[in-house]
Structure 1
């Protein structure tokens, strides 16, 4: 195909804040995990699909498949939908004592 540009699994975006490799970020409506460290305003490649362990609200709980959202103010995952961005679903159960969650990112723009 002459019009194919890339798969979009990894995408270059402008870092909305300082970010470390492995941290999640929301660039406009595009959510992903940084492939490298970047300072705010610099280009950074992000992975938009896959399973990642990311910072999450400790008190939140859920079974495999529960929808998971990104709280862009607190910079962590949550099961609370209100004012947050849906990014995927829990890939493993999450207890109310864990500070991270294992999430399946689906790469859908919302």
Structure 2
């Protein structure tokens, strides 16, 4: 097929700021996870799909299948939709104590 470009599970971006490897990246309506460290102004790859352990709001318990949103201000995941961007679904239940700050998320490939 002549018009095929790529699988689409990862793309190359130009960083507008330093991005640490494994960090969440929101560009417009596109959300991904940095595949490696990307220096400000440099090109790097972000993964758009897959399952990742990501920082989450400590005050929330998650159930399997719950919608997960990216809080661009706090730079973490939340189940609160208001003012946040849908990025995927929780694939592992997790409690809401102060020490439970990691949630397992299946990325949906694009933010909504």
TM-score interval for Structure 1 and Structure 2 normalised by the shorter chain: over 0.9
* Alignment RMSD (CA, Å): 1.1
The equivalent residue for 2:82 is 82
User: For the residues of structure 2 that align with 1:27 and 1:43, how far apart are their CA atoms?
Assistant: 14
For structure 2, the 5+ residue unaligned runs are: none
Q: In structure 1, the residue corresponding to 2:74 is in which secondary structure?
A: coil
Q: Give the total of aligned pairs.
A: 110
Relative to the length of structure 2, the TM-score reads 0.92
Please show how residues 45-56 of structure 1 align to structure 2 within 5 Å: 45-56=45-56
| 1:62 Cα deviation after fit | 1.5
Relative to the length of structure 1, the TM-score reads 0.93
For structure 1, the 5+ residue unaligned runs are: none
Moved over 3 A (4+): none
User: For the residues of structure 2 that align with 1:37 and 1:47, how far apart are their CA atoms?
Assistant: 13
CA contact (8 A) 1:13 1:27 kept: no
CA contact (8 A) 1:68 1:103 kept: yes
